[in-house]
Structure 1
Amino acid sequence: MEYLVSACLAGEACAYDGRARTCAAVEKLVREGRAVTVCPECLGGLAVPRPPVEITGGTGTDVLVGRGRAINCHGVDVTRAFLQGAREALRIAEKYGIRKAVLKARSPSCGYRWIHDGTFTGKLKQGHGVTAALLLKAGVEIFTEEEVHRLKL
C-alpha cells in the first residue's frame, strides 16, 4: 500500500451526513490496490450519520495535547472518539508502512491546512484536523482531494 485515504473520498458513505465525498483519483488508487481507506470518526466509534463536529480551543494539534476539544453542533464533546480514531488511522498507516495520505479537506479529523473555525458558521481557520495532525507528527505527507493532482498517479 502506498496511500492512506479518507474512506469518504473513496466512495464510502461515511461522512457526517451519511454521504460519500467521492474523488475519482482516490477511487482509482483503491481500485488499483495502492491505498487503504480509513474513516477516523467511524474508527473512533461515531455513528453514520452523526451531528457535525468542529474543533474549539484551537486545532487538531491542540486537541492532541489536551488544549482543544472536538464538539458537535449540539454541544456534545466527542474528543475521545476523535483521538481514538486518529490513533487507529496512524496504526493502520504504520502497519502498511504508508508515508502518504489523501485526506478530506476541511474535516475536523482529516482537514489539512484549513478546518472549520468551531462556530458552525462555515468560516475557516488555519490548522489541521486531529488525524491529519497526528499523521503529520508521525512524518506522513498529506494531500487533500483538492491537491491530488500534485501526486504522480
Structure 2
Amino acid sequence: MSVDGTGRAWVFGDDIDTDQITPSRFLVSSDPDELGEHAFNDLRPEFADGVEPGDFVVAGENFGSGSSREHAPLSLVGAGVAGVVAQSFARIFFRNAINLGLPVLICPGVGEIDDGTEISIDVDEGFVYDHDEEIRYDAEPLPPFLQDLVDQGGLKPYTRRKLESAD
C-alpha cells in the first residue's frame, strides 16, 4: 500500500510512550474520533487541533513504549494521521497499529526530518521522502501479510473478509 500524496511531519523524539500519545485520563472511551481529540494532549497540546488528515507522525527510537492498550494507535487513527514513521517502535504498539490499519514504518535516519516538513511514505517499497530537503530515507517495508492487513483496514476487516470468502 502506497500512501499517496504528502502530509506534514509532526516530529517527536525518543521514548514516546502510550501515556504521552493518549493520556490515561481519556481512556474512558474507545471511540477513535473522541480519542483523536486528545492525542498528544499533554506533550503537544496543539497537535489535536493542528493535525490534518494525511499528516504523519515521525519519531525517534522506541515509539509507543509502555502500555499494551490499543488506545494510543487508535487515537492517531481518530486524529487522521496517515502513518507513523520511527527509527524504532515498541513491539506491541507496532502490532496494535497494524491491527488497526495504521501504516507504520521503521526508518533509520528520520530523526533528521524537521517538524512541519512535507513528506510522503511508501509502505510497499519501504521509503520516506522529505519533499522540503529532497531526501529519500530507506525504510524496512512491511512483509506482504502485514501490508495486506493494513490495506484492508486492520485485523477485524481482514478477518471479516476471510470469513466471508470461505462461504
TM-score, scaled to structure 2: 0.31
